[in-house]
Amino acid sequence: MSPHDRPTSPHLVHAATAPGTPDVTVTVIVHDDAARLPRAVDSLRRQSHRAIEIVISDDHSTDDTPRVARQLAAADDRITVLRLPENSGGCSAPRNRALDVARAPFLMFLDSDDELPPHAVETLLAAHRERPVDFVMGAVERVRVDTGRVSTWMPHLVAERRTVPGIEAEPRLLFEHLATSKMYRAEFLDRNRLRFPEGIHYEDQLFSAQAYCLAREFTVLTDTVYRWYIAPHAAAGTASISNQRHLLGNVRDRVHVGRLIDDFLRESGHAALRPEKDYKFLKHDFRMYAGDLPYRDHAWLAGFADLVNPYLATLAPAAYARLPRAERVVLQLVRDGRLAEARVAARGLGQGVAPRTVTAGPDGRLYWGDRVPATATGRRELDLDDQRVDAGPFPSALFRHEILDLRAAPGAAVDLVVRTHDPGLRLPVGPQAAALAVAPGGGRLEVPFRIDPVRPGVFEGRVRLDLAAAPLPLHGFPGVRHPVLVLAQRGLRNTGLLLAPLGFPPLRARVDYRHGLAPHLVTVEPEPRGAGRLQIRWDPVGLTARVTRPLAERVAPLLR
């Protein structure tokens, strides 16, 4: 079926009237997103390549989206608006309905809360015309809406321009599963009857796996072709699918799509890709949930284990072996039903945090936790020999520093009770010198204190942190810092993060600094995601916030 033979949707409410066939059709899917839809569409209207068709595919919105879409279409005759007769609950149906009416030989997809950079269409189309391939993909720019931080999605996969002769040549590209970062040849999709699976979430993962496997050749560009806005703390009702990890149904959908991909690989003759796909599931999909485990209650953890464990049992052992030890530990504890311990282990993911306890087996090897695992698989996965918790240079030794109690003290101070776990017995018996350090805005505050042994491998200490003593720059410091705990031994220093109680209410104080520095509102709180480190936030108030800081930001580039 050619692009010109696709059936016309009965729900077409406005059709483009521009003469001729456009070079590229870009589908914008939307549901109840009237506020952001104009930004997405404007990014298409501003494309340097003008011969495009814009299809707004509305998944039966109940807000002002239909009116906004009609206004956009009235302003540009390249725009077509579709409205689905009922809400499908996902991205697949609105994309598929748009594919039915798309007129161009090349196809792209855009979500209503994202944008295309100005030269995205031109860049991707030029690559297609330079070398006829099934699709062209480029880099994705991620923008945090809460902080403005910009990063590149999977940068190592788009670091070099190249044409790939089939996914077997670079199976690591399975990690780049976004459908929106690519421009597809319509003939390729039609020839393979490739459409988005309806009725499930994480449809991009299956669609992209199929596209990779069915493509004879595809080109990878280093150019940024998509701008993806990330709202990690969005309200539950407006959060994207990937930000709804607190729902067990979300877990179920990921596992279901994983099984569908496995079936496709087997049935299409690409079973050799299974270990690489399994590694991707462990490293990306499972890891997305693992970092949240400390914040889940036991009932949720039990449901999570029931959903993932049958699937984890089918994955290739070689995929597990490629993971860092900390990730393998969390996986195995979940598989063994040691769920409370999995929460503890998850706080160390990517942070270099020791377990609270280790146990020596009959062979002298150290295992995570308070027991020797009962199975050969458990012993292999929970073996900590490669982490050398009981050996190695002191600066890189693993400890675990946890705050047992945190209270407001007079002025802008907080009193902390800190427990240090030393499972490798690296610290000598007796009191140890320690310091609590934090460095806002280039300065550094370091408060010495002492930790005393309470039992072998466990120390405790008390320290008061006076935030009014923190050295801030004259123009103020709007930012966040995570205090660290410093241990000293024979002239060597070991620096480790400080884990906060996950549920304590934020402590706030206004700090009126001396020497002419304007006041700041200082908040002490647990980090809301990840390990849950102790977090301190400075917010300038008064003149610093309104005048001094903005002026310093304007002058600083001139002084470089």
Q: What is the residue-wise DSSP string for 405-440?
A: EEEEETTTEEEEEEEEE-TT--SPSS-EEEEEEE-S
Residue 67 tokens, joined: 């009116």
Give yes or no for a contact between 297 and 248, defined as CB atoms under 8 angstroms apart.
no
How crowded is the C-beta side of 444, counted as CA atoms within 13 Å? 7
pLDDT-derived band at 424 (thresholds 50, 70, 90) equals very high
Give yes or no for a contact between 85 and 12, defined as CB atoms under 8 angstroms apart.
no
pLDDT at 4: 38
pLDDT-derived band at 243 (thresholds 50, 70, 90) equals low
Q: Any idea what DSSP says for residue 323?
A: S
Over residues 520-544, the mean pLDDT reads 88
Residue with tokens 């009959």: 362
pLDDT-derived band at 548 (thresholds 50, 70, 90) equals very low
pLDDT-derived band at 16 (thresholds 50, 70, 90) equals very low
* DSSP codes, 349-398: TTTT---S-EEE-TTS-EEESSS--SSHHHHHHHB-GGGTTTSS-GGG--
pLDDT at 499: 96
Dist. CA 282–CA 262, nearest whole Å: 14
Dist. CA 218–CA 132, nearest whole Å: 9
Classify strands 106-111 and 24-30 as parallel, antiparallel or unpaired: parallel
Q: Please check whether the domain covering 395-551 is classified as CATH 1.10.3470.
A: no
pLDDT at 531: 87
Average per-residue pLDDT in the chain? 90
**pLDDT of 19 over the 80 cut:** no
Dist. CA 70–CA 246, nearest whole Å: 35
Does the fold of domain 395-551 match that of domain 3-243? no
pLDDT at 437: 97
Residue 203, amino acid: E
pLDDT-derived band at 100 (thresholds 50, 70, 90) equals very high
pLDDT at 67: 97
Angle at 115 between CA 53 and CA 204, to 5 degrees: 85
pLDDT at 451: 98
**pLDDT of 552 over the 60 cut:** no
Residue 245, amino acid: R
Q: Any idea what DSSP says for residue 285?
A: I
Pick the CATH number of 3-243 from 3.30.70.20, 3.20.20.370, 3.90.550.10, 3.40.50.2020: 3.90.550.10
The neighbour count for residue 158, using CB atoms within 10 Å, is 23
Of the given ranges (87-91, 147-151, 288-292, 526-530), which has the lowest mean pLDDT? 526-530
Which segment, 138-142, 229-233, 477-481, is predicted with the most confidence on average? 138-142
In this structure, is the dihedral angle defined by the CA atoms of residues 360, 365, 370 and 371, taken in order, positive or negative?
Answer: negative
Residue 415 tokens, joined: 């009193």
Residue 440, amino acid: P
The domain limits of the chain are 3-243, 271-387, 395-551
Dist. CA 294–CA 334, nearest whole Å: 13
pLDDT at 407: 95
Of the given ranges (17-26, 77-86, 314-323, 404-413), which has the lowest mean pLDDT? 17-26
pLDDT-derived band at 231 (thresholds 50, 70, 90) equals confident
Over residues 493-510, the mean pLDDT reads 94
Residues facing residue 451 across a β-bridge: 432, 461
Of the given ranges (201-215, 238-252, 410-424), which has the lowest mean pLDDT? 238-252
pLDDT at 242: 52
Q: Say what the pTM is.
A: 0.88
Task: Note the pLDDT tens digit of each residue in 274-330.
Answer: 999 999 999 999 999 999 999 999 999 999 999 999 999 999 999 999 999 999 999
pLDDT at 7: 40
Residue 322 tokens, joined: 């490629």
Phi-psi bin for 350: left (phi > 0), alpha (psi -120 to 50), beta?
Answer: left
Task: Note the pLDDT tens digit of each residue in 128-160.
Answer: 999 999 999 999 999 999 888 999 999 999 999
Q: How far is CA 107 from CA 135, 174, 190, 288, 442, in A?
A: 9, 20, 11, 30, 48
pLDDT at 542: 75
pLDDT at 233: 54
**pLDDT of 5 over the 80 cut:** no
Over residues 422-446, the mean pLDDT reads 94
**pLDDT of 104 over the 50 cut:** yes
Residue with tokens 């009126």: 512
Residue 135 tokens, joined: 């699709």
pLDDT-derived band at 543 (thresholds 50, 70, 90) equals low
Comparing 511 with 14, which gets the higher pLDDT?
Answer: 511
**pLDDT of 441 over the 90 cut:** no
Over residues 59-71, the mean pLDDT reads 97
